[in-house]
Amino acid sequence: MANAIYQTKMAENADLLALLADLKKDKEEMKSQIQAYVESRRNSRPCQRCIEKIEDVQGVKREIGEVKGKVQRKIEEVKRKSKKKRVKFKG
Contacts of 48 (CB under 8 A, 6+ apart): 42
**Secondary structure, 3-state, 25-83:** HHHHHHHHHHHHHHHHHHCCHHHHHHHHHHHHHHHHHHHHHHHHHHHHHHHHHHHHHHH
Predicted confidence at residue 59, as pLDDT, reads 96
Q: What is the pLDDT of residues 10-60, one digit of tens each?
A: 888 899 999 999 999 999 999 999 999 888 877 788 878 888 999 999 999
Q: Give pTM, 2 decimals.
A: 0.44
pLDDT of residue 74: 94
The pLDDT, as a whole number, for residue 1 is 72
Instruction: Write out pLDDT tens, residues 66-87.
Output: 999 999 999 999 998 888 777 7
